[in-house]
Structure 1
Amino acid sequence: MKEDLHHYLRDIRAAVVWKLDGLSDYDVRRPLTPTGTNLLGLVKHLTTVELLYFGYAFERHFPEEVAWFSKDAEPNMDMWATADESRSYIVDLYHRACAHADSTIEELPLETVGHVEWWPDGKPTLHRVLIHVIAESNRHAGHADIVRELVDGSVGLREGNDFMPPVDEAWWADYRAKVVKAAGP
């Protein structure tokens, strides 16, 4: 069971990082929603998620200092990249945070109890945390998919298999027109 859950987490991590491929620095940073959602910010936020849930919650603290990973950080600081935080820095840090999380997942039994002070019961098992992080990562991968589509029209889960029907642009235009018509005035 743990191996299956870990597999799904690894898959969605790769999908999120893939969403940055081929884009300019501006395109990975630019906010495309009223709340500022952007691709690099999603990767930065998921770095925080990995560090919180697989590090902090199980007293397996990450060995590096991460500026935005503190109780004193500005709200939403992990949802966008500052000018001095390069894409490579954030992606590399995400990979290191994931490797740190992987060691927690691999070394601890699913029944291990952690501590998450902001959860009602505060004492989740590794199993529950793993499911939570998979769900949160998938949620943000969905955000990334929409943001990437807004940037350049690219969609899908992974390179070489986007999980979309094999149709042309004209079909998509007709399809969208049907959806618009069905939505009403």
Structure 2
Amino acid sequence: MKFTILMGSPRSQGNTAALLAPFLEECRFLGIQTQCIHLYDKKVGPCLGCMACQDVPDSLGCVQKDDFAQIFQEMEDCDVIVLATPVYAFFCTAPMKALLDRAIYAGNKNYGRTKGAALLNGKRVASIVTCGYRPDRGADLWEEGLRRWCKHGKAEYLGMFCRRDLGKSVPFMDEEKESGVRDFAQAIYLSIRMEEV
């Protein structure tokens, strides 16, 4: 089993990285292979809206020559895509938004001369999120957007684990967050195992 984690935080030692660390440890304990791609280290330009990809029915067909195709290949080759991001303005960070825009557009051939495939059809997607408000007010728009992104791309949404940052006077990580995100890893693992039985 393989998880590809798309890390959307600009801070390698920030809250999202702190929440992700025990998730990755739990994955290793469960025997899950993980790959973490730091999107701020990659070059992924925004979608140009040129529609050239829509006339390539069985592959991406994007005209931009950057890191998008390589990242998308990793998304295709794994069992679960995990989107890890802080929420700054009620949605994911800019590199992740650029990636998701291109993945949903080039990955779904709905607008060309002939209708083609959904390249992430059946792919499982989960999210690990940090934000400054209560999750139901800080990450609700992100989660709804992700649900729609999955539905449009025929992917399976597995859920979100989100925790709030209470400010510099309160340490972000605590026992509840660590055990909760480990439980989240286990729940994803078990849901896949149940499907395989």
TM-score computed with the length of structure 2 as normaliser = 0.29
Larger strand share, 1 or 2: 2
Larger helix share, 1 or 2: 1
Please say which structure displays the higher CA radius of gyration.
1
